[in-house]
Amino acid sequence: MNIQTYSQQLIDAGRLFHQRGWVPATGGNFSARLDAGRMLITASGCHKGELTPADFLEAGFDGVPIGAARKASYETLLHCQLYRHDAAIGAVLHTHSIANTVLSRRLRSIRLAGYELLKLLPGIGTHDASVEVPVFTNDQDIARLSATVDAHMKRHPATPAYLIAGHGLYAWGADVAQARWRVEALEFMFECELHS
């Protein structure tokens, strides 16, 4: 796929997520893998419900923008970590919903069990399953936070997604559509947990 196709898919995801209250104002960031060493990612300071093709830039997996005048998202290194960790990851979506923010402030991990929508997560074929979504302490040193996430994922390669305390969800998939479905499934389950 070309950059225009990826940017449109991410624009559509941003509109959907904003309508559902998961990316208020400039909160969140989205990316898609372009090749073995590059990604398309939202630039810093963009309203995720009002994205245009001009709101994306290319960056290497070192987090450095390629030929762009705009600044990359502050959290670009978290996307880089995931792409370097697993070559099968084709898209990463980060949201800031009320449910994921409140739960991640209260809990060190979130156990999801018995939900039909668990089947949208990797390696799960039945609702009769459970997963732990880890919560990492928020750290303004993104390189250090990225290293913490990477160490966890090396110890727990089946991690389906993760949360940053008080900050939001990181979910991924083989492409933008799969990542979007996983965000939708996780946000639904988080909302159920918040209300239960």
Structural domain that includes position 163: 3-195
What is the pLDDT at residue 68?
Answer: 73
Which of 137, 128, 125 is closest to 163 using CA atoms?
137
**Residue 92 confidence (pLDDT):** 98
Question: Could you say which residues of the chain have pLDDT below 70?
Answer: none
CATH of the domain at 165: 3.40.225.10
Give the three-class secondary structure for 19.
helix
Q: Contact at 8 Å (CB) between 25 and 45?
A: no
Q: How far apart are the first and last CA of the chain?
A: 41
3-state helix, strand, coil in the chain (%, to 5): 40, 25, 35
| Whether the model pTM is above 0.85 | yes
> In the prediction, which pLDDT does 126 show?
84
Counted domains in the chain: 1
The contacts of residue 164 (CB under 8 Å, 6+ apart) are 104, 135, 136, 137, 138, 145, 170
Pairing of strands 161-164, 130-136: parallel
Q: How far apart are CA 103 and CA 45, in angstroms?
A: 25
